[in-house]
Amino acid sequence: MVKEIQLRVNLIEEKKENILLFKASKQLGVDKNEISAVKVLRKSIDARKKDIIFNYKVAVYLDEQVPEKSDYIFEYKDVSNAKEIHIVGFGPAGMYAALRCIELGYKPIILERGKNVQNRRRDIKAINRDHIVDEDSNYCFGEGGAGTYSDGKLYTRSLKRGDVRRIFENLVFHGATEQILVDAHPHIGTNKLPKIIENIRENILKFGGEIHFETKVTDFVIKDNKLQAIQLHSGKEMTVNSVILATGHSARDVYELLHKKEIRIKAKSFAMGVRVEHPQEIIDQIQYHCSGERDELLPAAAYSLVQQVNNRGVYSFCMCPGGFIVPAATASGEVVVNGMSPSRRNNKFANSGIVVELDIDKDFKKYDHFGELRGLEFQKDLEKIAFLAGGRTQAAPAQRLVDFVDGKFSTDLNETSYQPGLKSAPMHSLLPKIIGSRLRKGFAGFGQKMHGYYTNEANIIGVESRTSSPINIPRKANLEHTDIEGLFPCGEGGGYAGGIVSAAMDGERCAEAVIAAF
């Protein structure tokens, strides 16, 4: 017999051996010897009060053994000679579209503009050290997509879009720790994720799929509203049956190509703002109600903040405890920042995007002449301003937090994790009013919710502009483009996902949709 129960364990109890077994036997009213095993299904921490609680959901096995195998089985077939499906982009949406194709007996042909994870490292090092941006190989482009070298968070709210557990189990199948099946906010870490990505690649190749790195799609050949072929930067043309377009939210050239060819796209609302970076110790002391170092059993503390300012949401985004801030530009002449954490989350800084909701129909009147690209052009302009304010390198403009709210130039800045460096700049006047004024009020309000958060020991760093795509590529109920037969917009680039897991789920759905269309 197996029974699922909830257990609450305080910090002192957590240090005791076999505490879950003891509490499970007490709650069920059975002798400990009758319990074969207690398996943790979910774990979270409640630190809202001084008495910190570990919440567990557990399966208690009574005179029964824990199954050795997962309920999820991934059976891949040799598809070397099977019907082909072309996939543009090898981020999570493209990867999981490819894996699903192989499971269902179809051959994925993957075209990725960037490099594999190993060769990508050199280009990332060049951004950090030499301020050189390779437009096709960077923190956003390359094998594994934007998540590979910029965190590996797996938390998603997209629970109705697919089987979240299936994605987690598949990551474990490809080498991720089983801890992601348990944690309430699962995370792999940017130091661990590349190996998992490599394992997925090897599996796709092993079963007959094709992956072409440094292969950029530059045009679509369309006849009678049906996709016939794709053209590559090399001049080669590839005949296609169907294409899953999984290029990510930063592939601006793809949006511009679709717009130029009058293939329907739609401007959508998104969010922009800055990164804020605190010493991790400050966040730990706030969240864990302690005056010194956090207890060794507690992870680096995270936070989630949101409030309404002038009828718009101002909120934390992609919070990275014990993490780093990284340069996420995809072209010369722009500065973009993002956050990441290693698996142990043991860096001395905490950072988070703090962003403002922008309304595509109200906030971009000066950009109306760009039509459906108006949000994208606004993004570009803000990134150019950050580049100029940072000194025309990948150094980022920054300001101490209280100085930013007070409208005061920071004569010096705090230490930072951002490797290209910071340059003091008047962010309060550089940011457009629709963003800057709301951020200033938002930060002051956050200080009331988290006492100690509002401090000049924190830097704000600009700009956090790639939270999601400013473009939606519309599709029908069968996930095919509304006008172009054979084109299946997918993942974050299509406007249908917001992270690794939701993109992976959408990739699987698109693969199934293409096969259903056959």
Range of the domain at 28: 2-62
Contact indicator for 211, 97 with CB cutoff of 8 Å: no
Contact indicator for 288, 298 with CB cutoff of 8 Å: yes
Give the other-Cβ count within 10 Å of 36's Cβ.
15
Q: Distance between alpha carbon 429 and the CA centroid of its chain, in Å? A: 29
Q: How far, in Å, are 334, 357, 388 from residue 395 at the CA level?
A: 10, 26, 10
Class of residue 16 by CB neighbours under 10 A (exposed 0-12, middle 13-18, buried 19+)? exposed
**Residue recorded with tokens 């949709």:** 513
Q: What is the pLDDT of residue 9?
A: 98
Kindly report the pTM of this predicted structure: 0.95
Identify whether 107 is part of a domain: yes
Query: pLDDT by residue (tens digit) across 323-379?
Result: 999 999 999 999 999 999 988 899 999 999 999 999 999 999 999 999 999 999 999
**Residue 512 pLDDT greater than 60, yes or no:** yes
Query: pLDDT by residue (tens digit) across 289-309?
Result: 998 899 999 999 999 999 999
Contact indicator for 109, 84 with CB cutoff of 8 Å: yes
User: At 248, is the pLDDT very low, low, confident or very high (cuts 50, 70, 90)?
Assistant: very high
Q: Based on the domain organization, do 123 and 251 belong to the same domain?
A: yes
Identify whether 285 is part of a domain: yes
| Full DSSP string of 450-494 | STTTS-TTSEEEEEE--SS-SEE--B-TTSSBSSSBTEEE-HHHH
**Residue 254 pLDDT greater than 70, yes or no:** yes
Which domain CATH number covers 88? 3.50.50.60
CB proximity list for 426: less than 8 A, separation 6 or greater: 399, 409
Mean pLDDT for the stretch of residues 471-486: 98
Mean pLDDT for the stretch of residues 123-138: 97
Domain's final residue, options 445, 464, 483: 464
Tell me the C-alpha distance between 87 and 233, whole Å: 16
**Residue 282 pLDDT greater than 60, yes or no:** yes
Identify whether 115 is part of a domain: yes
Q: What is the pLDDT of residue 69?
A: 86
CA angle 192, 138, 461 (to 5 degrees): 90
Share above pLDDT 70 across residues of the chain, in percent, rounded to a whole number:
98
Phi, psi at residue 4, to the nearest 5°?
A: -100, 130
Identify whether 78 is part of a domain: no
Query: pLDDT by residue (tens digit) across 163-174?
Result: 899 999 999 999
Which domain CATH number covers 6? 3.30.70.2700
**Residue 77 pLDDT greater than 60, yes or no:** yes
Tell me the C-alpha distance between 37 and 124, whole Å: 46
Q: What is the pLDDT of residue 152?
A: 62
Helix pair 164-173, 500-517: axis angle to 10 deg: 100
Mean pLDDT for the stretch of residues 409-421: 98
Q: Based on the domain organization, do 214 and 237 belong to the same domain?
A: yes
Q: Based on the domain organization, do 111 and 255 belong to the same domain?
A: yes
**Residue 158 pLDDT greater than 80, yes or no:** no
Q: Based on the domain organization, do 261 and 273 belong to the same domain?
A: no
Q: Based on the domain organization, do 480 and 432 belong to the same domain?
A: no
Q: Based on the domain organization, do 260 and 279 belong to the same domain?
A: no
User: At 181, is the pLDDT very low, low, confident or very high (cuts 50, 70, 90)?
Assistant: very high
Choose the weakest-confidence range: 149-153, 267-271, 383-387. Answer: 149-153
Mean pLDDT for the stretch of residues 72-79: 96
Mean pLDDT for the stretch of residues 22-39: 96
Identify whether 324 is part of a domain: yes
Q: What is the pLDDT of residue 68?
A: 85
Identify whether 314 is part of a domain: yes
Identify whether 456 is part of a domain: yes
Q: What is the pLDDT of residue 455?
A: 98
Q: What is the pLDDT of residue 162?
A: 76
Total domains, the chain: 3
Q: What is the pLDDT of residue 149?
A: 77
Q: Based on the domain organization, do 131 and 31 belong to the same domain?
A: no
Identify whether 69 is part of a domain: no
Query: pLDDT by residue (tens digit) across 184-225?
Result: 889 898 889 999 999 999 999 999 999 999 999 999 999 999
User: At 430, is the pLDDT very low, low, confident or very high (cuts 50, 70, 90)?
Assistant: very high
**Residue 511 pLDDT greater than 90, yes or no:** yes
**Residue 447 pLDDT greater than 70, yes or no:** yes
**Residue recorded with tokens 């988070």:** 352
Q: Based on the domain organization, do 104 and 244 belong to the same domain?
A: yes
**Residue 285 pLDDT greater than 60, yes or no:** yes
Mean pLDDT for the stretch of residues 138-152: 85
**Residue 151 pLDDT greater than 70, yes or no:** no
Query: pLDDT by residue (tens digit) across 80-89?
Result: 999 999 999 9
Contact indicator for 213, 115 with CB cutoff of 8 Å: yes
Q: What is the pLDDT of residue 148?
A: 84
Q: Based on the domain organization, do 286 and 431 belong to the same domain?
A: yes
Q: Based on the domain organization, do 476 and 413 belong to the same domain?
A: no
Q: Based on the domain organization, do 274 and 194 belong to the same domain?
A: no
Q: Based on the domain organization, do 207 and 305 belong to the same domain?
A: no
